[in-house]
Amino acid sequence: MLSKESKIYVAGHHGLVGSAIWNNLLQRGYTNLIGRSHKELDLTDQVAVKKFFDEEQPDAVVLAAAFVGGIMANSLYRADFIMMNMKIQCNVISEAYAHGVKKLLFLGSTCIYPKNAPQPMKEDCLLTSPLEYTNEEYAIAKIAGLKMCESYNLQYGTNYIAVMPTNLYGPNDNFHLENSHVMPAMMRKIYLAKLIHDGEWDKIAIDLNKRPVEGVNGAASLEDILKVLGKYGIYNNKVVLWGTGTPLREFLWSEDMADASVHVLLNVNFSDIIGIEKYSSVHYGASTDGAVDRNHSAGRGGAIPSLGEIRNCHINVGTGKELTIRELSELVVKAVGFEGIVEFDASKPDGTMRKLIDVSKLHSLGWTHKVEIEDGIQKLFEWYRQSLQ
């Protein structure tokens, strides 16, 4: 069990996921937190990561850092998505093990599941059929990460837990149009279309100065601004969104995700997930001084013989509720106060048609969500407007 004095490293603490987990830990009284920005520590640099662990010696690690984006980014940067995420995971997990980290929480994504997985998706449908092509590289990287956690536990007796959140939204979300996820991109598009209609060019300039689009900021000419926004389907009182609007999606407020993740970090062990009451060094060949013996493990090969095969030890984190992209757009329109037109371009990809997760394992471990989608969208828009102050 981690104490309030335990040193916890949150990798990716400035991002949507990491910042929410950081704040949740602080609220619970865990104040001995370590964070490094990307400029301060490049997690793809193996030497730099080792040096960081040598110096800081954290007791626990939350691996929330990742190279992420939506359909467009996943399609354009396929090599980056698999290579960057694999490097981050390999470096952090291997150094956590080498430095005796007691507990590690790995954050993945429900895009790990097959494109045509039975709905709602249980943890054990992993690797049962092909992935969605548009985010295959990211999904494979995240599958590798959860398998690293699982495999280190089985071979070395570590306590590394992987959680797979559904689509997230909330404070510190990414609103950059080139590589953001569906909800923040939709919200910003609808907001900008409203501002164009209302002639509020000063607010448009503030928005573009905060988050330039393809290098175009608030100082650009009106013509250039309208041209680049039009490229992303943003017009005077009109927004064009990708796809048909019919895919179903589940969304989880990021602060709910953080609460679930910290609940798992503090209260759930690998033994709880695989149903072993006493998950002791007997299985793992720990040496008498408590150090892990790399050369001996009853679990080598991915199984403890007496228990059979152990897999799918990750935990889905979500609400178990869904809505269509069109219904989502209607809620965003209401939150923004947009009175214009929202169109869907069916020539553009929809992505996976349905992606609802089964959260019964999470519920059995003592956690359920609190923020419903209607309230969450309003809260996100309020946060976005405040970010422009």
Catalytic center residues: 138
- Residue 355: closest CA among 131, 164, 120, 143: 120
Concatenating the DSSP letter of every residue in 183-224 gives: HHHHHHHHHHHHHHHHT-HHHHHHHHHHS-BTTB-TTS-HHH
Q: Which helix (H) or strand (E) holds 60?
A: strand 60-63
CA-based angle 268:59:160, to the nearest 5? 40
Note if the bond before 118 is cis, omega within 30 degrees.
no
Distance CA 143, CA 162 (A): 10
Phi, psi of 31 (to 5 degrees): -105, -10
Q: Which residues contact 152 (CB under 8 A, 6 or more apart)?
A: 93, 97, 158, 160
Distance CA 174, CA 281 (A): 43
Say how many C-beta atoms besides its own lie within 10 A of residue 128's C-beta. Answer: 11
CB-based contact 187:175 (threshold 8 Å):
yes
Environment class of 210 (CB within 10 Å of its CB; exposed 0-12, middle 13-18, buried 19+):
middle
